[in-house]
A and B are shown apart, each in its own frame.
Chain A
Amino acid sequence: MLSPERLALPDYEYLAQRHVLTYMEDAVCQLLENKEDISQYGIARFFTEYFNSVCQGTHILFREFSFIQATPHNRASFLRAFWRCFRTVGKNGDLLTMREYHCLLQLLCPDFPLELTQKAARIVLMDDAMDCLMSFSDFLFAFQIQFYYSEFLESVAAIYQDLLAGKNPNTVIVPTSSSGQHRQRPTLGEASMLEGVEASLFYQCLENLCDRHKYSCPPPALVKEVLSNVQRLTFYGFLVALSKHHGINQALGALPDKGDLMHDPAMDEELERLFKSEHGGPGL
């Protein structure tokens, strides 16, 4: 805990990195909102419960989207909560439309924006036939990538567009030499004939991106792994590959592996007990 690297960071940076302030602010805000109820309750107990729930990942339930999006931990907790609550829908085998998944998301977060769900759906459906039905696991993993790494993905999209257009953000364009531009044009021609961008070039740009930006991005090593398998790839191809990569999923730590997606023995037990006590009949 008391590692020297941690202490080496200046105060504000440390706080910002751990998002301590976000939680503190939110806690105080909640306290203010529910003054009357909590005052009977005890402020110390309130803070205990609050931070316990933050640890457990239940603090994001039925909260507004701005809060859920605020920190990576919140996002991961939300993903986990979504999985736990609607795993049974997936288990049942129902294929749902994008709108219906969005509805389910709204059950947990009333003002969840539609664009995010749409983007996630685009990953699954490869930007085609947006009214198609999707399976729970497909949607969930795509949604994870989209939601958790949304800013990262935006930058990636920009880079991809640039690469498609033939502009390499890495190269320094010297205005006087026209030969530099000449050199680029043949690549533009190449790129437009083949689909997508060259994997290695793409990876170089992404690596720079990961280094430059502070918000969360997938571990570069894993990204390299994803890109090393192919020569060329499209944007959505890349995203699909990301979503299906086990390593990235595990690095995120919110959801179990695809194989275990439908299993949650602890929850099932709990439900059985509840079911029996309520209905007194055969269990689930």
Chain B
Amino acid sequence: MIPGKYRSVSGRAANNVNCGLHLVIQTSSLPEKSKVEFKLNKETPSFPGRLLQHDLERNYSSRQGDHINLASSSMPSFPILQRSSEEKILYSDRLTLERQKLTVCPIIDGEEHLRLLNFQHNFITRIQNISNLQRLIFLDLYDNQIEEISGLSTLRSLRVLLLGKNRIKKISNLENLKSLDVLDLHGNQITRIENVSHLCDLRVLNLARNLLSHVDNLNGLDSLTELNLRHNQITFVRDVDNLPSLQRLFLSFNNISTFESVCCLADSSSLSDITFDGNPIAQESWYKHTILQNMMQLRQLDMKRVTEEERRMASVVAKKEEEKKRESHKQSLLKEKKRLTINNVARKWDLQQHRTPNIATNQDTKVSDSPSQDPSQLHGSAVVSAFPEETGSLDSGLTSALQGLSVTDTHLVEVDGDTLSLYGSGALESLDRNWSVQTAGMVTTVSFTFIEFDEIVQVLPKLKMKFPNSLHLKFKETNLVMLQQFNALAQLRRVDQLTIDPQGNPVVNFTLWKYYVLFRLSHFSMQKINGTEVTQNDMIMAERLFGILAHVASSELPQYRLISILGDARKKQFRYLLETKGKKPGLVNEDNNDSKRLVGENTNRATLNYTTRDFYNERLEEIKEKKKFCKMYMEDLVKEATDINMKNEALQKLWPQMFIELVRDAVIEIRNKNSYMKLCLQQITDQK
């Protein structure tokens, strides 16, 4: 049976059933902390200072020696809390109920002035029965089993809410707590920051040891000065620049690996203290100076003061990085342009060779259009980089790498250390350029791609002069179809290695091509052909196969043919020398010596020349005139001869008859001696 005066209070609870026991709370007289006593109401209403034990409860004292009187109900209802009036007067605004093994929030009766409520270290699962405490400022529910924030909607004055170490999964139901100053939600299971935008007075927000994977939705927290996000799974941070007062941000032990994921921090002018330790980003080599460079306003990083020295280093390193990035960007742009140009040249070549063009031409043309819009800029900068001795500003390590010299859409010329690469027939004109002696001297390999061999032949003398150290020639997609074309290479000074790529060079399919090359260019003593070493056996085989040809070409040709063929070759060289203007006399002499040497070496092969088809046909055309003349001349001669012959024959036929007549006439005349004498005398007198 419950006494009437207690019954009325307990009617508040939802499913309250009259129970026999009441919870009575007494406070003891210790000054620092308000102690609580729970009193069993079964026998007597209150026993100040006395410890009553329930047969189900153990005697439990807190650190400060609380005396607790606990009255629990046998039915599921809320215990009702009461304090002695002494306690109420002493600690009218604070109430501590820690470690009371509470599983529910008790109904707190008659404490409407309460300002501080402590429920630490209990087993409370739901926040309830505190709606009446509308003056509450401080609510501590640390270390309970609360799963949901609720029951706080009337606590409009609440300033500090401690909900650490619970089982809260979601931030919610804080709408009315507009005065909130400190919100502690550490040690929960919160996955998202939400529903906090209205907390414009909030100064400290603790979300450490939760399940946050990212940080955003932080707008509206205009007073926030400290944000603790340690020990989460955060990979990126956003909206921090929307926090105008944020000074301290703790991101230790998360999953941040790049500065880009936290780049909003750079825009926050208020931040002075930040921690990143325990994140992957802190292990990076560029960590410190990237952070310092991007967050000039920082005073402490990872709990250590940022010194001036560190800041200076950071800016220096950052500048270097910037340079490097710019340079590599330029390089990659150049490379891309080169690749596109080569593609373009290849496509043109294919069309020229009447092969089917690529299907994906549209994409290429579109992309290749855009770089052509500022060729002057690229060209300008490229030319500068071509002469390393003139540009000292660029990092030496970078210029020694690829040097793109001239990049246009139709051809490409590139010097890469010791290799000169030419793509497309337009590239051949680049040989006319003024090459610095150093660059030209370094070139030992010349590579031709997508250029007709016949066109290359015409520039070989120029090549010889401008790149005297070129020892290795590479040909790819150059339309080498006849063995004869190799004859043209004989005019070079020296070739150590020859690489003929099978692609685009049908001549490689012939069984004998290597031997012919070795034979014709034996005076070079070549070391390698297409990557394989040349052996003595190869040379012997070459001689064996083609030796006769050389012999025939030299000894069996009539002398005048020899002279005319060799004369042709020398004439060509001389003509080239005449064409190139402004040459120093020294060079001219050198070439004369060369030509003499040419005659000296392997003359038996020298007659094996190569004239390009066009030249050949030109020459034949020129000869046509002469041939016509010769024909006419011969015809005249023949006519004359046949005339004479005819006359001769006619004479032969007629002569006997004529002779007989002559004799007959003479005999008839002399028959009469007298009359003949008279006739002769007459003839003599007539003559006088």
Tell me the A residues contacting B by CB distance below 8 Å.
11-12, 15, 21, 24-26, 28-30, 32-34, 37-38, 41, 46, 49-50, 52-53, 56, 58-59, 61-62, 64, 81, 84-89, 92, 94-97, 99-100, 103-104, 106-107, 110-111, 267, 270-271, 274-275, 279, 284
Chain B positions within 8 Å of A95 at CB level:
511
B549 lies within 8 A of A29 (CB): no
For this complex, 27 residue pairs linking A to B, each with C-beta atoms less than 8 Å apart, are A12-B642, A21-B638, A25-B630, A26-B630, A28-B630, A28-B634, A30-B560, A34-B560, A34-B567, A46-B560, A49-B559, A49-B560, A56-B556, A61-B553, A64-B620, A86-B549, A87-B548, A88-B544, A88-B545, A88-B548, A94-B511, A97-B510, A99-B510, A100-B510, A107-B549, A267-B551, A271-B551
Chain A positions within 8 Å of B286 at CB level:
none
A15 lies within 8 A of B484 (CB): no
Contact of A85 among B548, B626, B627, B646 (CB under 8 A): B548
B607 lies within 8 A of A62 (CB): yes
B608 lies within 8 A of A37 (CB): no
Contact residues of B between 619 and 653, Cβ < 8 Å to A: 620, 623, 626-627, 629-631, 633-634, 637-638, 641-642, 645-646
Contact of B556 among A32, A58, A104, A110 (CB under 8 A): A58
A52 lies within 8 A of B629 (CB): no
Closest 3 CB pairs of A and B: A49-B558, A11-B642, A28-B630
- Given A96-B511, A100-B512, also A61-B545 (CB < 8 A): no
Size of the B side of the interface (Cβ < 8 Å), in residues, is 52
B627 lies within 8 A of A25 (CB): yes
Which of A32, A59, A103, A106 has the most chain B CB within a 10 Å cutoff?
A103
A58 lies within 8 A of B547 (CB): no
Chain A positions within 8 Å of B561 at CB level:
53, 61-62
Give the shortest distance, in Å, between A44 (CB) and chain B (any CB). Answer: 12
- Given A62-B607, A270-B551, also A29-B560 (CB < 8 A): no
Chain B positions within 8 Å of A25 at CB level:
627, 630-631, 634
A110 to B630, CA, bound (A): 23
Contact of A38 among B541, B544, B553, B560 (CB under 8 A): B560
A106 lies within 8 A of B607 (CB): no
Chain B positions within 8 Å of A87 at CB level:
548
Give the shortest distance, in Å, between A69 (CB) and chain B (any CB). Answer: 14
A25 to B626, CA, bound (A): 10
A58 lies within 8 A of B630 (CB): no
Give the shortest distance, in Å, between A85 (CB) and chain B (any CB). Answer: 5
B655 on the A face (CB < 8 A): no
Specify the chain A residue showing the minimal Cβ separation from B544: A284
A103 to B607, CA, bound (A): 17
Chain B positions within 8 Å of A106 at CB level:
482-484
B484 lies within 8 A of A107 (CB): yes
A88 to B544, CA, bound (A): 7
1/0 per residue, CB under 8 A from A, across B24-68: the answer is: 000000000000000000000000000000000000000000000
B510 lies within 8 A of A53 (CB): no
A29 lies within 8 A of B484 (CB): no
Specify the chain A residue showing the minimal Cβ separation from B635: A21
A15 lies within 8 A of B547 (CB): no
Chain A positions within 8 Å of B551 at CB level:
267, 270-271, 274
A110 lies within 8 A of B484 (CB): yes
Contact of A274 among B507, B547, B567, B646 (CB under 8 A): B547
A254 to B551, CA, bound (A): 20
B592 on the A face (CB < 8 A): no
A85 lies within 8 A of B552 (CB): yes
B547 lies within 8 A of A62 (CB): no
Chain A positions within 8 Å of B452 at CB level:
none
1/0 per residue, CB under 8 A from A, across B459-497: the answer is: 000000000000000000000001110000000000000
B546 on the A face (CB < 8 A): yes
